[in-house]
Structure 1
Amino acid sequence: MTSARSGGLRTLRGRSVAMISGLLLAAVTVFGIVSVAILRQNLVTQAESTLYLSNDTAISQTLTAVDATGNVPTFDDVSLAVPSDGFFFVVQDDEVVVSAFFTRDYDYRPMTGVELSHARAAMGESGYTAQADVADDGMYLVTASDVVAEDGGELTIVSGVGLTDADTVVRTYALWLAVVGIAIAAFAAVFGWRWTRQQLDPLERVAEIADEVAATPLSSGEIAPQRRVPRDVRHLGSETDRVADALNRLLDHVELSLNARHRAEESMRRFIAEASHELRNPLASIRGYADFYAQPGADADPREAQGALQRIGSEAARMSALVDDLLLLARLDADPVVAHDDVQLSMIVVETASDARFAYPGHVWRIALPDEDVTVVGDEGAIRQMLLNLVANAGHHTPDGTSVTVAVGKTETAVELSVNDDGPGIDPDALPTIFDRFTQAGSRSQTRERSTVGLGLAIVQALAIASGYEVSVVSSSAGTRFVIRIPIVVGD
């Protein structure tokens, strides 16, 4: 049997863990991209505020110096106009007249020609902000402002502030976010694997039990009890528990059905053997008599011939009774239709008990009836036959001297027609199949020669089912009680 635990991503557990981890990783990735973009935008906005403040200061200092002296301030005069990691320069008549570049440690120097060319290339319209790699060490925000001095001279003041710190913060945040995301995905994979394993263990047990059942031969013979899926209280009510419960109920049904089929097959084999035996003897007798009297010149005494004919008739009647029972069962199987008339049970009980006294004179027959007549809805013929079969069963399978009571009782919901005897009782092993066809259970102490094929109680049950009644039996060493429970129809 291939283990379900070694299937990798082919198993439901592997796919579930991969899906959970992938979804978490995707969620962290999307969150990281969005949060990084928002963080950088906020840092750029802060840098823009610093840039605009620095640019306003540079404009103020430049115009103050031009208005006071008529000249643009020198390099040493503009040190306070620029923040760390920033620069500014002034363009007059398309030439840079002064520039200052401040490093992160607040040292300053004039801007190089490359830096000036990069900054001027990134300049946009006055008042707008652009990004440029001015010093080949990171991005800078650059803005240019066109101003006019009091003497009418036009100047362009360009300011810049570095984004290196902002980019460093963003990179650090992104790195930690990636580490945290991978850790979350790894934790989700480990936890998800353990959790799905716990949740799917019932399904694996279901698969194991199903594999065992699949390897069990079920085509013939009695089915041995199969293992059931154990129920886990932690999963009661879950889908996996419902699957386990469904498999257990299916196995119960399969075992019951297959064992019932096996019992039916065994009963059929017994019936064929018994029926063959039952039919062989009368047929042999009939054939013997027929062959004897069919011989040419056979001269028989009239009294012997009369006895032979009586014997032939008795054996034929016995075979007819067996065939009639089989036809009745077949009819009930094919079309279980019975009448629904008002039937008085008291008369049926009295007549049946009276007949039983003549059929089994060695028994003590009693009846127990209520003071008032009891009327039920049913088929009189079916009720008579059920009661007759139960009485015959008691008379045939109990020894002489046994007391048999045929009684009628009434409860709130049903009328109970019962046959009780104080005989030795039925073998407990035979009780579960006592109403099966072709069952010959007998009693604990069989005193009569067995001459039935086990159809009487099967006919009782078939008629009861067709009539909507219930038939049951309780037996012990103190006696046996058969009960036909007839529901009371509202309005009767």
Structure 2
Amino acid sequence: MRSTRGRLLVVVTGLLLSALVLLGATSVVILRESLVTQVESTAYLSNESVRSRVETTLDEDGGLPPFDDLSIVIPPDGFFFVLEGRTPRLTAFFTRDYDFRRLSRAEIAELRDQPFVLDGTRTVTLGVHGNYLVTASTVEGPEGTRYTVVTGVGLTDTDDIITIYVLWTTLVGLVVAALAALFGYRLVSRELDPLEHVAQIAQQVAATPMSSGAVAPQGRAPRDPRLRGSEADRVALALNLLLDHVESSFNARHRAEESMRRFIAEASHELRNPLASIRGYADFYAQPGADPDEMANALGRVGSEAKRMSALVDDLLLLARLDADPRMRHEPVDLTQLVLETVSDTRFAFPEHGWRMALPDEEVMTTGDEDAIRQILLNLVGNAGHHTPGGTSVRVSLRQDEGEIVLAVEDEGPGIPAEAIPTLFDRFTQAGGDAGVTRKSTVGLGLAIVRALADASGYSVSVESDSSGTRFAVTIPRLPPAEGPSPDPAG
């Protein structure tokens, strides 16, 4: 039997049967000893009564007592006889129905041939009548005559009681064993069902291809509330946690692979345009007899495209560095001064916009990576400048509460389409907008860098947008994260 359920059932039932057999055998031995002791007492009492009457009669009359005097002291299913030497003088056999008769010569001979134990007991067999417990004693008569008094009490009732007891004990034991096997099977099945489910789930998972692609949600091992805390329940819980971890890990791997493929494809696409421009202008420059002004313009365009490509590569390297090692520096940063400098520089970069600031009266200080925070703010204000029409009002605000600092950039532009919000911080994402919006030199990495730097610094970034404008907010905790060395993220 290979199943755990079957082996446990056999072991439990076998142990129970062994215990019942041992208990039954012990009880049979004890019961038999008790019943035999009672029969032994009756045999001794009967022998003593007969011997006493024989002794009294011999002393008084010189002869043996009459049969009637002796018959009243012998129990049913018993016998006695008195031997003078080896010659029987008085004999009687009493049936279980209280009838009596004299022992036959054959019966006397059979009994006489079996040695007796004086003042002790011995079990003898008397033909078809069964077993008897026999005891003997001696009496001295006149002139030195020696008489032997032999009495026997039947063991038939005792044997019948033992037989009935054994039968009932066996029957009850078998019933108890059957009930124990039935309830044991149900109990063992209930305890092992979670393991059966675990095996089934494990087989399903083993048959699921996981070499590539996303992993479809797998089944989970059910947990019986009645078995909470048991070994089987802990195995089921461990399997479910393992499956959760495996699914999340494989799906994260799939997302990373998809993101990498998309990243490579989009990066290749973005790099292809400036490379094509550079190649075209280089080919034009190599043509003989070209106009000097046009050649100068071509060289300028080559430099411009090279600068654009260099900026793109720098952004890609920054994102790759943050993916590999997101640790940041932790140093005192004056956010008020940082906002003043950034907005001042932005006014020259986007002079057609209206730039405003809302700063508290006191300095706002935090602990973090100044270059990372500056890059976040530059990208947010640059995003507002690039993606809103000229003349749009942009407001940069700084607010500190008891537990956090909020750095916000709000514009009054046309807003961001609602369908673009969920993927706004993904790499190479460019949300659609008003036709008058300028998007020169943008490839959709600015907000992705904002999210990556914020995550690495322990900040949160949120966006709200409608037709009246867009608001980006960076929430900086007042308590900085644990310090740790890191390379310069802008580096």
Counterpart amino acid of residue 167 in structure 1: D
**Residues 131, 141 of structure 1: 8 Å contact kept:** yes
Distance in 2 between residues matched to 1:264 and 1:427, nearest whole Å: 26
Deviation at 1:56, TM superposition (A): 1.9
Partner of 2:12: 20
Counterpart amino acid of residue 379 in structure 1: D
Partner of 1:39: 31
Partner of 2:477: 486
- Unpaired segments ≥5 residues, structure 1: 1-8
Deviation at 1:105, TM superposition (A): 0.9
Q: How does 1:142-221 map to 2 (within 5 A)?
A: 142-149=134-141, 152-221=144-213
Which segment is superposed worse, 120-129 or 285-294? Answer: 120-129
With normalisation by structure 1, the TM-score equals 0.82
- Unpaired segments ≥5 residues, structure 2: 482-491
**Residues 47, 161 of structure 1: 8 Å contact kept:** yes
Q: 1:140 to 1:429 in 2, by over 3 A?
A: farther
**Residues 440, 454 of structure 1: 8 Å contact kept:** yes
SS for the counterpart of 1:377 is strand
SS for the counterpart of 1:81 is coil
Distance in 1 between residues matched to 2:452 and 2:352, nearest whole Å: 30
Deviation at 1:444, TM superposition (A): 7.5
Match of 2:260 among 265, 268, 277: 268
Distance in 2 between residues matched to 1:450 and 1:127, nearest whole Å: 130
Q: 1:186 to 1:165 in 2, by over 3 A?
A: same
Percent pairwise identity: 55
Partner of 1:277: 269
- Say whether 1:313 aligns with 2:318: no
Partner of 2:79: 87
Q: 1:372 to 1:149 in 2, by over 3 A?
A: farther
**Residues 123, 142 of structure 1: 8 Å contact kept:** no
Match of 1:72 among 37, 51, 64: 64
**Cα deviation per residue 1:342-384 (whole Å; 9 max; x = unaligned)?**
2222222332333344445565544444443232222222222
Q: 1:284 to 1:71 in 2, by over 3 A?
A: same
**Residues 427, 442 of structure 1: 8 Å contact kept:** no
With normalisation by structure 2, the TM-score equals 0.82
Counterpart amino acid of residue 221 in structure 1: G
Match of 2:282 among 287, 290, 297: 290
The count of corresponding residues between Structure 1 and Structure 2 is 477
Distance in 2 between residues matched to 1:368 and 1:146, nearest whole Å: 134
Counterpart amino acid of residue 486 in structure 1: P
Counterpart amino acid of residue 96 in structure 2: R
Deviation at 1:48, TM superposition (A): 1.9
Deviation at 1:266, TM superposition (A): 2.3
**Residues 63, 149 of structure 1: 8 Å contact kept:** yes
**Cα deviation per residue 1:155-196 (whole Å; 9 max; x = unaligned)?**
433322222212211221221222222222222333333444
Match of 1:341 among 323, 331, 337: 331
Which segment is superposed worse, 345-354 or 475-484? Answer: 475-484
Q: 1:99 to 1:407 in 2, by over 3 A?
A: farther
**Residues 345, 374 of structure 1: 8 Å contact kept:** yes
Counterpart amino acid of residue 39 in structure 1: L
Q: How does 1:81-480 map to 2 (within 5 A)?
A: 81-112=73-104, 115-116=107-108, 119=111, 123=115, 125-149=117-141, 152-230=144-222, 232-295=224-287, 297-301=288-292, 303-361=293-351, 365-396=355-386, 404-419=394-409, 424-425=415-416, 427=418, 431=422, 438=427, 440=429, 442=431, 454-467=444-457, 469-475=458-464, 477=466, 479-480=470-471
Deviation at 1:147, TM superposition (A): 4.3
Q: 1:368 to 1:37 in 2, by over 3 A?
A: farther
- Say whether 1:57 aligns with 2:49: yes
